[in-house]
Chains A and B, each alone.
Chain A
Amino acid sequence: MTTLTKQTLSHLDWLEAEAIHIMREVAGQCANPVLLFSGGKDSICMLRIAEKAFRPGRFPFPLMHIDTGHNYQEVVEFRDKRAAELGERLIVRSVEDSMKRGTVVLKHEGESRNKHQSVTLLEAIEEFGFDCCIGGARRDEEKARAKERIMSFRDEFGQWDPKNQRPELWNLYNARAHKGENIRAFPISNWTEMDVWQYIEREGLELPSIYFAHTRPVVMRQGAIVPVNVPLVSGELTNLPKAGEEIIDLQVRFRTVGDISCTAPVESDADTVEKIVLETATTTITERGATRLDDQTSEASMEQRKKEGYF
C-alpha cells in the first residue's frame, strides 16, 4: 500500500464539492425544487454552497421556511435579511395557518410544534407542486439519519419508508419521482457538526446572534437548561416558567436552533466562531443529546417523525 502522494482536496473542499454536485443534480433532474432555509447554521452553509454552485446565475429554486410561529426572533430576522441580501425568493408557510385550517391540532397549548411542521411542509409541497425539497439534515445528527439516502424518496403522503429506499451507488443519484411523490435531497449528509463549524469559520459566514454566548434567563428542568420568557416576533413572551421554578441568568449559546419549546442552549462562554470550533472539538455531549428535547421522547422518535413526513 502506497502512502499519500497525489494531491487531494482538503476535507472541507471535498465536502463542499460533493454538496455542490448534489445541488446541481437536483437542479438538473428536478423540475420544481425548493431549498428549505430556516436561518439555522446548517441551512446557512447550504446557502453558501448554493452560491458556489450557481453564481453568477440565480438559484434555480426558491427558499422556503416552515415557521412554527415559535421561532427565535433573532433567527427569523436573520432569515429575512439573508434572503434579501442574496436577492432570492423566500416563501414562508406557517404552522399557525395550518392550525387555523384545522389540519394541525395541538394536544395542549404548550405542545411543541416542531413535529407539526411536517403537516405544513406537505401542504406547502402540494400548494407549489414542489418535486424536491433540499434540506440541511446530516447523517451524524441522529441514528435514524445514519441510513438516510442523499436523495430520499417520499410517497404521496410524504412518508419515508426505510425499507423501501433506492440504493445509491457511486455518485449516481436517482431523483426521479412521479407526480405527487417527492424527493428530499440532503447535500450535507456527510458533514458532522464539526465540519459545519469549520466551514462557517473558513467561509466567514454570518450567523444569528443566539449561536454565540449571551446571557439570558433560564430555568433548570429535568437536567436541561430551558430558556424562559422568550419574546416572540409578535413581542409576546413564550416559555413562561412553571410555578416554583427559579429563574437564573446564565451565559449560554445554542448549538441548534428550532422551535423555542424544544431547543435548549448549553452553558458556554464561546462568543466567536473560533471559540465554538474549539469547544466543539472538546465537547462531551452530542448536539441533539444536549439540546433537542424532542429527540429524547423515545429512542426511535426521529425515525417515527420521518415516517410521518418530517425531514
Chain B
Amino acid sequence: MSAPEKIEDHGLLRFLTCGSVDDGKSTLIGRLLFDTKTILADTLSAIERTSQKRGMEAVDLSLLTDGLQAEREQGITIDVAYRYFSTGTRKYIIADAPGHEQYTRNMVTAASTANLAIILVDARKGVLTQTRRHSYLAHLVNIPHLLVAVNKMDLVNYDQAVFEKIKADYLAFAAQLGIEDVRFIPLSALNGDMVVDRGEALSWYKGPTLLEILEAAPGAHSEQAEAFRFPVQFVCRPQDSANPELHDYRGFMGRVESGELAVGEAVTVLPSGRETRVKDIQIGGQSIPAAVSEQSVTLLLEDEIDISRGDMIVRSAAQPQVVKQIDTTVCWLAETPLDRARTYLIRHTTREVKAKVASIDYRVDVNTLEQQATDKLQMNDIARVSFKLAQPLFIDPYSQNRATGAFIVIDESTNNTIGAGMIG
C-alpha cells in the first residue's frame, strides 16, 4: 500500500449526463466510475453475476447505475440519481437524469445544480430531436459549460468524418440557441476510449480525454465577479446563555449565494433598506476576515436592526431589484396542471410569498422549440409566465445570478413542489 501524494484540491464539480439508455449513458457513467477505481470488488462481482444471468459476455457497466426495484421491474430510469467519484485532485457529483421526453422535469431538476453538462450523441444516429431537447434545457437552466460526447465511435469504425459531421450539425443549431461554450469529444464508453484512458483507436483526436476536460472545468458557476447576496436563513440570539457577553449577540446566519464580503464593508438590509457595516463574520462562533461565494457563515452588524428569515443582506453599492411582479420561464413539475384561478406560494431564496399568475405568454415545444399560445400548463411544460406577488422579492435576472434568479412554486394544500422558475 503506497501513500497517495498530497495533491492540490481542485474542489468539487457537479455535472449532468443527459441522453437515453440507447446512447450508452449508463455505460459511460459506469466507465467513469470503473476507470477511476470508484467501483469496488463486491459491487463489480454483483454486476458480473447479473451480466451472466442476463446472458451477456462482457460485464455490463450500465448495471452500475441500475436504480430502484420499482425501476428495475419496469426496465427504465424514472428519477434523478446522484453518483460520486473522486480523482484525488477533485470530487465529482454526477446527476444522472433520464433522457425521455416525459422526464423534462427530471432533467431540469438535475441541471439546476450542475456546472457542466455532458450531452451524449450516438455516432450512428447523429444529432437527433432529443439532442436538441437536452441542449435547449441545459441552456435554459444556464449550465455554463456543454460537452457533446459522440459515443459509440467503435460502431462507426472510429471514423473521423462521422465525428466532424456531427460536430458541424450540432454547431449549426447551437448557434440558433445562442449556445457559445461547447466542446466536442469522440469516445467509446463501451471500450473505454477517450473516457479516462486515451486508448489506441482514436489517434486522430488530439484533444483532452473526457476526464481531463472534467478536471480542468471551472467549479464555480460563474467566472464573473457576482454581486454579494446573503439571504438570511436563521437568526441566532443566545440571550439565555450563561456567558453575559452573548446577551447582545445577534448573528444573521446564511449562505453567501454569490459574491464576497469582508469585515467593515457597508451593507444594506432588504426589505427595510437600512444601511450598516459588517462588524464580524463567523463560522461556529470563530471570526474570519472575509466570506466567499457558497460559504455558510454568520454575519454580525454594527447597528441593531430588526432582521428575520427571508430578509436579504447585500452590499450597499450593488443592490438587487425589489419587485412585486416577475416575468419568468417556468417548468411545470406536477401532474396537476397549473390553475390560473389559484393562489400559489413562491419560494425564492429563503423568502416565501403568495403569488398569482398574471399571464401565460406561450409554451415552448421542447422538440421543435416552437412557441405555442396556451392558457394552461401540464407536467413537463416549459412556458413564459408572469406572476403577481403579494410581497416584494429581491431579484436578479437568472442569467446573471442563479441563486437570486431562481424560484420554486409550492401548492399550499399538498405542500408539493409543483413548478420551477427562472426570472428574466
> 1/0 contact trace for B30-55 toward A, CB 8 Å?
00000000001111000000000000
- Given A14-B294, A147-B67, A170-B406, also A53-B253 (CB < 8 A): yes
Considering only residues 69-114 of chain B, those with a C-beta below 8 Å from chain A are 69-70, 78-84, 86, 90-91, 93, 105-106, 108-109, 112-113
- Does residue A234 face the partner (Cβ distance < 8 Å to B)? no
The CA-CA distance from A147 to B42 in the complex, in Å, is 21
Closest B residue to A300 by beta carbon equals B69
B40 near A192: Cβ-Cβ < 8 Å: no
- Given A162-B70, A163-B78, A192-B86, also A53-B296 (CB < 8 A): yes
Closest A residue to B85 by beta carbon equals A192
- Does residue A190 face the partner (Cβ distance < 8 Å to B)? yes
- Does residue B325 face the partner (Cβ distance < 8 Å to A)? no
- Does residue A215 face the partner (Cβ distance < 8 Å to B)? no
- Given A28-B350, A147-B79, A172-B408, also A9-B294 (CB < 8 A): yes
- Given A24-B234, A24-B296, also A1-B145 (CB < 8 A): yes
The CA-CA distance from A189 to B14 in the complex, in Å, is 14
Residues of A near B42 (CB, < 8 A) are 284-286, 289-290
The CA-CA distance from A77 to B312 in the complex, in Å, is 43
The CA-CA distance from A144 to B105 in the complex, in Å, is 21
* Interface locus among B17-25, B122-130, B168-176, B213-221: B213-221
What's the nearest-Cβ distance from chain A to residue B244, in Å? 12
- Given A11-B9, A15-B12, also A1-B181 (CB < 8 A): yes
Residue of A6, A146, A192, A299 near B69 (CB, 8 A) is: A299
A190 near B84: Cβ-Cβ < 8 Å: yes
Give the residue among B1, B12, B402 with the most A Cβ atoms within 10 A: B12
Size class of the contact patch on chain B: 35 or more
Closest B residue to A3 by beta carbon equals B216
The CA-CA distance from A146 to B56 in the complex, in Å, is 26
Considering only residues 338-389 of chain B, those with a C-beta below 8 Å from chain A are 347-350
The CA-CA distance from A84 to B80 in the complex, in Å, is 40
* Interface locus among A64-72, A101-109, A174-182, A205-213: A174-182
Considering only residues 386-417 of chain B, those with a C-beta below 8 Å from chain A are 402-403, 406-408, 410, 415-417
A146 near B83: Cβ-Cβ < 8 Å: yes
Residue of B3, B86, B237, B408 near A57 (CB, 8 A) is: B237
- Does residue A7 face the partner (Cβ distance < 8 Å to B)? yes
> 1/0 contact trace for A1-40 toward B, CB 8 Å?
1111111111111111110110011011000000000000
The CA-CA distance from A56 to B254 in the complex, in Å, is 15
Give the residue among A6, A146, A170 with the most B Cβ atoms within 10 A: A170
- Does residue A221 face the partner (Cβ distance < 8 Å to B)? no
The CA-CA distance from A10 to B67 in the complex, in Å, is 30
* Interface locus among A92-100, A122-130, A241-249, A275-283: A275-283
A169 near B420: Cβ-Cβ < 8 Å: yes
What's the nearest-Cβ distance from chain A to residue B291, in Å? 10
What's the nearest-Cβ distance from chain B to residue A13, in Å? 7
- Given A56-B249, A57-B237, A170-B113, also A17-B40 (CB < 8 A): no
A281 near B417: Cβ-Cβ < 8 Å: no
What's the nearest-Cβ distance from chain B to residue A274, in Å? 10
What's the nearest-Cβ distance from chain B to residue A293, in Å? 13
- Does residue B274 face the partner (Cβ distance < 8 Å to A)? no
Closest B residue to A54 by beta carbon equals B236
Closest A residue to B80 by beta carbon equals A147
A53 near B284: Cβ-Cβ < 8 Å: yes
Closest B residue to A139 by beta carbon equals B82
A162 near B79: Cβ-Cβ < 8 Å: yes
> 1/0 contact trace for B189-227 toward A, CB 8 Å?
000000000000000000000000100111110010000
B284 near A169: Cβ-Cβ < 8 Å: no
The CA-CA distance from A27 to B235 in the complex, in Å, is 10
- Does residue B324 face the partner (Cβ distance < 8 Å to A)? no
Residue of B12, B40, B181 near A14 (CB, 8 A) is: B12
Closest B residue to A172 by beta carbon equals B408
B284 near A52: Cβ-Cβ < 8 Å: yes
The CA-CA distance from A286 to B44 in the complex, in Å, is 10
A5 near B223: Cβ-Cβ < 8 Å: yes
Residue of A12, A143, A189, A289 near B40 (CB, 8 A) is: A289
B82 near A176: Cβ-Cβ < 8 Å: no
> 1/0 contact trace for A121-142 toward B, CB 8 Å?
0000000000000000001100
Residue of A10, A27, A55 near B9 (CB, 8 A) is: A10
B43 near A289: Cβ-Cβ < 8 Å: yes
Closest B residue to A27 by beta carbon equals B234
Considering only residues 156-177 of chain A, those with a C-beta below 8 Å from chain B are 162-163, 165-172, 174, 176-177
- Does residue B68 face the partner (Cβ distance < 8 Å to A)? yes
Residues of A near B223 (CB, < 8 A) are 2, 5-6
B238 near A56: Cβ-Cβ < 8 Å: yes
B69 near A303: Cβ-Cβ < 8 Å: yes
> Which residues of B does A touch, CB under 8 Å?
1, 3-4, 9-12, 40-43, 66-70, 78-84, 86, 90-91, 93, 105-106, 108-109, 112-113, 145, 181, 183, 213, 216-220, 223, 233-234, 236-238, 241, 243, 246, 249, 251, 253-255, 283-285, 292, 294-296, 309, 333, 347-350, 402-403, 406-408, 410, 415-417, 420
| 29 pairs, CB–CB < 8 Å, chain A vs chain B | A1-B183, A1-B217, A4-B10, A4-B218, A8-B12, A8-B294, A20-B255, A21-B255, A28-B309, A56-B238, A56-B249, A60-B234, A143-B66, A143-B67, A144-B68, A146-B83, A167-B106, A167-B109, A169-B108, A172-B347, A172-B349, A172-B407, A174-B408, A176-B410, A189-B82, A192-B91, A284-B41, A285-B40, A303-B69
